Structure 1
């Protein structure tokens, strides 16, 4: 190891989610928030006792270890060890391929199962599955722990290493072992291309503009403005902004998005460094280009709403009195800086907190909704494994889920116990008759998929948070 450290270029970065899309073939994709321009960082001094000790260890290994070892491997191990000692899930070292995927995530161009995750003790925790992706379709939920990949435990592995195990070609399958509410189960997903568009919009109830923001990437603010203008031309009278299950992303986009809904001079957010100093970011033309929304607005959020999504929701709530509807948000309130090394690797460390306009630090707490409302309970049922046909005498958690779904659809009135008995068979038979399916009394793949499609439709019709928002903006 040379005494001089590799020169780095630092991007002062505000990262509210070191949220990782489980990717295929392209490394690890991170959702970050770039803020200021790059600046050359001074080289670290090596004359301290600590650095001399590290140098001594390196030289001892290089000169005395019984077999040849890669100097790059030793260096990377030392860096990862130092970062690991921080015990911070949002600080990490990435090699070239992983850093490349970070930039893919920023540009909303990546592939995978579509789940944003972070380190949680020995395992990996899902922060939010992205709408329309394999993770969301498989019923993965915020808070789920991934404990194994394809039967291989990931206990103690870094986020990067765990995600590497989940890589593969689009169309291939990966089996995750999920722990939820103390119970474990396997879920097989088919890897796919993750949607690039982050904003979807439509008109509901003839006069309300509904806009769903699925993540916050390079084009999100522009996509949002386009959606707003299009809906405005169609004569909508109010807006519902849905950031449920939005894992966050870029700070500069969150600033631009928020500024559209705030009067100039109103605070969007604050950043506080370890010495207590705060930098305040306020709405203005430099963020929104002079475009403002003055019609009534409501924001939908839930436990999957994190980082930049929380900045957006918090800014509108505290600086524009916009009501928040749903459940407690995730709670991601720290700031990271990213340093680029010449070999294309990158390092992230937490450097500050970000605060809401009122100065609240929501880390690990989240934003509290003005009105609490949620999807019905059956919206959170895991998908049933369709590789098996369920019949009389079978007992499993899959059958318990089937019974809950049939109950939600009005076909099952007995006790939910996971046993496929006569009442379950009667319910399945009745469902098959009504939906004009082959009447077998067994739950085969076609029947299960039909039931789950009906459940999704019922969820959409019984979205309590959306219904509440509609009543508020319609006043």
Structure 2
């Protein structure tokens, strides 16, 4: 005869003649608590809300910034994010769960901009990888999850959102106009007549196919080298990364090793297959920065460790974990399920990948931040472009010359006004890259030309 403790609030139960695992014990206890509360609570219990809150709390208890539960009320927005079309400011974000807040470390309770999308409102306003957002519309983000914060930044196109940016110990407000954001994938072109250039915005299950089309098109141009731009690529689907690496690596090369929880049999070593689509002696450069994360790092490491590409730029973000996404009820759950290791056996989580050739990003100094804030508040960029609508080098350099007296680095002014001009162009008319004002790209071209 089974003996069960009678109290509806007891922490567990014992069963004679059987062994019950801890999850079963905990779930039985939680069910008794749920039924007891439902029977005595003064008002009717909203069972749908109760279910979603329980699921949210369960995943949040992992204390993992990349694991979360999406309730049915937010499932549509989540699917839009997966598809990649929505109204917003155009950024990849990361935020630790509120329970991990450390008052002495702003990155534990503010939103980290992993990367802004090229040409997005966020990028044109000068936001960059590593910036922190402390407030949205004047409200602190401390208690928000990453998903909740992302949803607050979204909205109908042509509406505004004001964010407070925390950078190098200084805060300033920026008001952005939301636009219809299409999450970019792959684009390409030819620089200086004979250097192929591919920009990988993110990795999706379709990236491999799309990338192959661009590679084949570039090979018809008799290019002497190839630059693959992964700067501000926040990652995405691991399968897309494997497909991309297969285009460049000969058969039998290790791409990445995935190691899951012991006993789950999720461990897997990915190996390149088939023949490469480009000659093995074609020089390849991959551009990286601290916005290059997750699957972008897997691709960069696969190419670097197999001596197929030279990395130029700055150290990558350092996200060496993999998530599974699955439907749960009418919502979704995303859970970290594995670590990944580079072909050389490195775990780059929270470390990043060092470039072969370091070329620093252009960054505002602490003294320049209030000067930059004033420039943005006064709407100087838009006014200048309205007065001088032609995006010539002369106009771009004239702007930098005119406003450098304010104390802002001339190179930053060149980038800001160039981005403003680009934002006013139809997307199909925008140049694929900017070898003149982009120092990291210039160094990559030099490497392709000289081999050093």
Fold-level similarity (TM above 0.5): yes
Deviation of the 1:184 alpha carbon: 1.1
**Equivalent in the alignment of 1:421:** none
**Equivalent in the alignment of 1:284:** 273
The unaligned stretches of length 5 or more in structure 1 are 1-43, 391-404, 418-426, 428-448
**Equivalent in the alignment of 2:417:** 453
Query: For residues 344-390 of structure 1, what are the alpha-carbon distances to aligned partners after superposition, in whole Å with 9 as ceiling and x for unaligned?
Result: x1112212101111111111111100000134346997565555489
Greater RCO (CA < 8 Å, at least 6 residues apart) = 1
Measure, in 2, the Cα distance between the counterparts of 1:169 and 1:413: 36
Measure, in 1, the Cα distance between the counterparts of 2:404 and 2:144: 45
2:435 touches 2:441 (CA, 8 Å); kept in 1?
no
2:174 touches 2:377 (CA, 8 Å); kept in 1?
no
1:307 touches 1:331 (CA, 8 Å); kept in 2?
yes
Root mean square deviation of aligned Cα:
3.2
What pairs up with 1:94-109 in 2 under 5 angstroms? 94-109=70-85
State yes or no: 1:172 paired with 2:159.
Answer: yes
**Equivalent in the alignment of 2:400:** 409
Query: For residues 41-79 of structure 1, what are the alpha-carbon distances to aligned partners after superposition, in whole Å with 9 as ceiling and x for unaligned?
Result: xxx989722112211221122111122221111111112
Deviation of the 1:156 alpha carbon: 1.3
Deviation of the 1:292 alpha carbon: 4.4
1:216 touches 1:250 (CA, 8 Å); kept in 2?
yes
2:197 touches 2:226 (CA, 8 Å); kept in 1?
yes
**Equivalent in the alignment of 2:329:** 342
**Equivalent in the alignment of 2:189:** 202
Measure, in 2, the Cα distance between the counterparts of 1:252 and 1:154: 33
- More moved, 80-89 vs 162-171: 162-171
Measure, in 2, the Cα distance between the counterparts of 1:408 and 1:328: 31
**Equivalent in the alignment of 1:186:** 173
- More moved, 332-341 vs 451-460: 451-460
SS of the residue 2:156 aligns to: coil
State yes or no: 1:254 paired with 2:230.
Answer: no
Measure, in 2, the Cα distance between the counterparts of 1:459 and 1:172: 30
**Equivalent in the alignment of 2:115:** 128
What pairs up with 1:30-429 in 2 under 5 angstroms? 48-120=24-96, 121-275=108-262, 278-285=267-274, 291-294=277-280, 295-343=282-330, 345-377=331-363, 388=378, 409-411=400-402, 416=407
Deviation of the 1:297 alpha carbon: 0.6
Cα distance change on mapping 1:256 and 1:415 into 2, 3 Å: closer
Query: For residues 67-123 of structure 1, what are the alpha-carbon distances to aligned partners after superposition, in whole Å with 9 as ceiling and x for unaligned?
Result: 222111111111211222211101100023533344333333333211111113222
Measure, in 2, the Cα distance between the counterparts of 1:222 and 1:238: 21
Query: For residues 233-273 of structure 1, what are the alpha-carbon distances to aligned partners after superposition, in whole Å with 9 as ceiling and x for unaligned?
Result: 11112100000011111111100001111111101111012
* Aligned length in residues: 385
**Equivalent in the alignment of 1:18:** none
**Equivalent in the alignment of 2:439:** 464
1:139 touches 1:383 (CA, 8 Å); kept in 2?
no
SS of the residue 1:178 aligns to: strand
1:107 touches 1:218 (CA, 8 Å); kept in 2?
no
1:239 touches 1:296 (CA, 8 Å); kept in 2?
yes
Measure, in 2, the Cα distance between the counterparts of 1:224 and 1:377: 31
TM-score (norm 2): 0.77
1:375 touches 1:459 (CA, 8 Å); kept in 2?
no
Deviation of the 1:167 alpha carbon: 3.0
Measure, in 2, the Cα distance between the counterparts of 1:215 and 1:384: 33
The unaligned stretches of length 5 or more in structure 2 are 1-19, 97-107, 381-395, 422-432
TM-score (norm 1): 0.73
Measure, in 1, the Cα distance between the counterparts of 2:218 and 2:122: 30
Deviation of the 1:196 alpha carbon: 4.8
Measure, in 2, the Cα distance between the counterparts of 1:219 and 1:384: 42
Cα distance change on mapping 1:459 and 1:376 into 2, 3 Å: farther
Measure, in 2, the Cα distance between the counterparts of 1:101 and 1:389: 32
2:119 touches 2:419 (CA, 8 Å); kept in 1?
no
SS of the residue 1:461 aligns to: coil
